[in-house]
Amino acid sequence: MAKTGVSLVITICALIYPVHLLDNGLAQTPTMGWLHWERFLCNVDCVNDPHNCISEQLYMQMADIMVQEGWKEAGYEYVCIDDCWLAQERDAQDRLQPDPTRFPSGIKKLADYVHSKGLKLGIYQDVGNLTCAGYPGSHGYYDLDAETFADWGVDLLKFDGCNFGTLDILVEGYKNMSRALNATGRNILYSCEWPLYLWPFHQPNYTDIRQYCNHWRNYGDVYDSWQSVKSIIDWTAIHQNLIVPVAGPGGWNDPDMLVIGNYGLSWDQQVSQMAMWVIMAAPLLMSNDLRSIDPKSKMLLQNKHLIAISQDPLGRQGYRIGRVNSFDVWERPLSGGRYAFAVLNRQEIGGPRQFPLLLATLPSWKTCHPECRVTQILPSYQDLGVQNLFSTLKLTINPSGTILFTVTLNEGLAAEQKWNWNRNMNKKRKTPNSVF
Ligand code: GLA
């Protein structure tokens, strides 16, 4: 290619995806793993509750189970420590140190153990003076802390934003830690909460954030309840024009942890959380107890069809295309001209409700011209056969449940034939307006 051609391509790429200053090549697809916070919080009482307290044993057990019980094989890779792992003081050289009674072997040994299982270790720190739970923060020590994490063999840093002081410290702190991680030469995935802490003051600059972080939290902490999960989904839909375009390989919006397998969500609500996190191209960081998880929740979290959608190489985040009669319809474009759709029944009274979906009303209706194959993935796998533009899918959806399905160009059709057909169609008519 001539030089001008190359620079034109580079310019176009830079316009689509801003240059990544965080040069770690990580998170090409949404991160998958386990993170302790929602389920284990700041339980530091290893005397009375040794099985559930924040200690090296907890992460070693989770790592063991992730290998033994098919989690690693399904794609879950990162075992992540959240707040409350630190000692109350830095050491004599100002280096961070873990609580000596709960992490007697130290983080390096723990990282070695996790690596010996073929998994990766995540850790937590804060941009301000103190973490949210009151342990020493990284402010004033970004380089030293990044070097410490790299020396220990840490693979992911969740960087919180509590106690940040001024907005300058918040923004510069997130950027400086990103640079400090880069400078270590170790590839450390950088998980930020920068926009969440900026929102009370002004709208965050997401183009900027994407340059420094591999994912970023936008909204408050997930709780083990449908109310909480629903509020995250709604926030995402309301802000989709701002946040969806910026997501893609290397940088993702993070709606917080999956709470599937805990106490607060009904089966249908667990299905909905999984479906929506997959549609939203969200990091899949479970916070549950893998040692005692219900087999049904485990099957849902390990469902290979869902994980394939989550990890789709096109890396586009889905968006809500409409709301009708208390049904929310979402779509996510996938590689190969495929789409995933989710229809969420928001009504929380009564029984299952019917939603007739005429394929011609979808913005991506062309995929079904002249024919498409429809496959239901959730709540159960079902081949819905070959359909066309005029087909109506008769969906029946439980209260607070979701049906997730994919629409694929029918394999019997040559791509070229479809392209020609679409071209002719485009000449003749406009895309039908969505009913939504
Ligand atoms: C904040 C974060 C949570 C968790 C806690 C730990 O609330 O948003 O995800 O890390 O701090 O204290």
The arithmetic mean of pLDDT across residues 34-60, rounded, is 98
82 is known as an active-site residue: no
The arithmetic mean of pLDDT across residues 58-69, rounded, is 98
From the CA of 220, give the closest atom in ligand 1: 8
The arithmetic mean of pLDDT across residues 77-95, rounded, is 98
| Share above pLDDT 90 across residues of the chain, in percent, rounded to a whole number | 88
pLDDT of residue 85: 99
Range in 100-104, 217-221, 307-311, 407-411 the model is least confident about: 407-411
Query: Is the beta carbon of 38 within 6 A of some atom in ligand 1?
Result: no
The arithmetic mean of pLDDT across residues 44-63, rounded, is 98
CA distance 408 to 415: 12
Cα first-last separation, the chain: 45
Q: What's the 406 CA to ligand 1 centre distance in angstroms?
A: 34
Contacts of residue 404, Cβ cutoff 8 Å, sequence gap at least 6? 275, 278, 279, 306, 309, 340, 341, 342, 376, 377, 378
The arithmetic mean of pLDDT across residues 241-254, rounded, is 98
CA distance 161 to 256: 15
The arithmetic mean of pLDDT across residues 288-304, rounded, is 98
The arithmetic mean of pLDDT across residues 179-186, rounded, is 97
Contacts of residue 57, Cβ cutoff 8 Å, sequence gap at least 6? 50
CATH of domain 319-428: 2.60.40.1180
From the CA of 256, give the closest atom in ligand 1: 9
Burial tier of 11 (Cβ tally within 10 Å: 0-12, 13-18, 19+)? exposed
DSSP 423: H
Query: Is the beta carbon of 83 within 6 A of some atom in ligand 1?
Result: yes
Q: What's the 404 CA to ligand 1 centre distance in angstroms?
A: 30
The arithmetic mean of pLDDT across residues 52-72, rounded, is 98
pLDDT of residue 411: 67
Query: Is the beta carbon of 132 within 6 A of some atom in ligand 1?
Result: yes
pLDDT of residue 244: 98
CA distance 42 to 54: 7
The arithmetic mean of pLDDT across residues 236-263, rounded, is 98
Single out the catalytic residue among 83, 99, 145, 160. 160
Report pTM: 0.92
Query: Is the beta carbon of 159 within 6 A of some atom in ligand 1?
Result: no
* Ligand 1, atom 11, residue with closest C-alpha: 132
The pLDDT confidence band at residue 314, using thresholds 50, 70 and 90, is: very high
pLDDT of residue 16: 52
pLDDT of residue 22: 84
CATH of domain 17-310: 3.20.20.70
- Please answer whether residues 59 and 81 qualify as being in contact, where contact means their C-beta atoms are separated by less than 8 angstroms: yes
Range in 64-68, 414-418, 426-430 the model is least confident about: 426-430
160 is known as an active-site residue: yes
The arithmetic mean of pLDDT across residues 98-126, rounded, is 98
| Confidence check: pLDDT of 201 > 60 | yes
| Confidence check: pLDDT of 170 > 70 | yes
* Ligand 1, atom 3, residue with closest C-alpha: 221
Cβ atoms within 10 Å of 237's Cβ, excluding its own: 17
Q: What's the 160 CA to ligand 1 centre distance in angstroms?
A: 7
| pLDDT tens-digit series, residues 362-419 | 999 999 999 999 999 999 999 999 999 999 999 999 999 999 999 998 866 545 555 5
Query: Is the beta carbon of 82 within 6 A of some atom in ligand 1?
Result: yes
Q: How high is the mean pLDDT of the chain?
A: 92
Q: What's the 342 CA to ligand 1 centre distance in angstroms?
A: 29
DSSP 265-314: --HHHHHHHHHHHHHTT--EEE-S-TTS--HHHHHHHT-HHHHHHHT-TT
Q: Domain boundaries in the chain?
A: 17-310, 319-428
pLDDT of residue 23: 81
pLDDT of residue 14: 45
